[in-house]
Chains A and B, each alone.
Chain A
Amino acid sequence: METGIDFAREVKQYILDEFLPGENPDDLTDDLPLISGGIIDSIATLKMVLHFEERYGIVLEAHEADKEHLDTIRDIAALLASKAG
């Protein structure tokens, strides 16, 4: 089901507000490696996941909440969309 939510935009805005205030939004591309690139740490990622779980009433399985699925905005948005759909 199409939710109509632009998850990539939501995730990007959340990261900019929470972790990168004042940064040029253009530098935060959808494919930037977030965890392995040192941009946000794994604990921050976890807090972000909890935020979106609450906001969209979804639950991520343990095996989904790892670096492999959450290292880029594109990955995170795809995961959220698959859950919310």
Chain B
Amino acid sequence: MSGGIPMVESRDEAAPRARFWARWRTWWHPVWVIVRRELRDQRRDWRILTPLVGLTLFFPVLMLFTANRMVAFVQRFGAELIAERLFPFLLLIVGFFPLSISLVIALESFAGERERGTIEPLLVAPITDGQFYVGKLLAVLVLPLLASYLGVAALLLSLYVRTGWYPDVALLIVVVALVTAKAVVMISGAMVVSTQATSVRSANLLASLIIIPIALLLQNEATLLLWRRMDVLWYYVAALLVVAVLLTRTGLAHFNREGLLGRDLDALNLGWAWRTFWGAFWGQAPSLRAWYREQIGPNLRALRVPLLLMAGLLVVAVVIGAHLTNTYLNQIPDDVLLANMPDRDEMVTNLAGLRGPLTFFGGGRWSARAILAHNLRAIALVSLLGVLSYGVAGVLVLLLPFALLGAGQALITRVGLMSVPAYWLAFVLPHGIFEIPAVLLLGAALLRLGAAWASPARGQSLGAFWLRALAQWAQVLVGVVLPLFVLAAIAEAWLTPRVAVWVLLHQLP
């Protein structure tokens, strides 16, 4: 009896595990089937194999020649250290070249199959979109990455044999990690392009979106390798992996059979695009008032979560700005600091000079018009960066002024000019009443737009989905953010300098 109970228990315990592994195997089975087929196909295609083998074998030889020449050159000046600092860069280059082939294969993976018509039998097979996408992704990654590692290994061996140089383990790991992370980013980016492109030609045209940032990144990594900033390079690896995850998520979210088999996306239907955008932007509102009530109201209510996130980020930016400034200021002796800071009277004089005339279009650099023009340029930059980076870069730019406000707060309180509340009351609040909500809303709308890039377009075409997401963002921008920035510019030109002068003159605590 007693022997039977544990058996039953162990079977019960084993059952969920067995089910999990059965599901795991079931899910991965078609993925491996696709990977196997793709690899077999790549192996038989001389147009892939020839450059891959060439780049893997030729570049280590070229790099070895470069290394020898470099060592010979720097030895004449007794600067062997410089040559050794350049060797890791050569490893990075040798690892990168075979990856360029992966870009070609990845760009071709969906667009090429679509163009040749071979994709449809796969799409009618009982596999999920995820299995199909992951299968293609892995298949594209394997061969170039192996070639890349092979190239790095070949160069390492050659360098050791010819110059006796070998990297420390940390350096080797970071180089391999960088090569791998770049491969994953390039391929996941190329896969996104390939799923959305209607032909190999259009996919290749869009490839510059991947090649240019990666080329810039490579140069940056080379500089950091020269300076041996391994800590920063690890941040690069982490950032690249985050980008790869975002791109893969975007690719999976927007990969759908409809897009691959639906109408030809090359056909630019501006009339339809405008109708879709305008339908989502204006809706059925008969008047401006109704538009605010029917469109803007629900839109703002839907922004609650990104608004909370954005508010938290703004606070963090202020705190970081104040903290970093304090850390820096603590290293400066008080007398030096005070000698370089304007006193109260000087500040009053300066601020009095900033007071703009009470006309919107008149005035110089500190007029309401000029402030608004500056803010509009900033909004354009923030929007552009936000659209290109899932909202992240745009939000980072929006956070910068708040970090500066934190820095100003730290500086002004350190020299004892005024208290923290007085600082915010004098310099921020008069126009911040309008500008801070505008920034919060702009950032939140950008974060939502960024999230939309990586969300599946259920029940609608990708074009319609993106146009509607863009229209939602534009509603917030046009309906709320821009009017708030106009008010903020007027307040900043007319009110803020006056309030600041008043606070300084009355020596509020």
A and B held together in a complex = no
**Which residues does A use to contact B, with CB under 8 Å?**
none
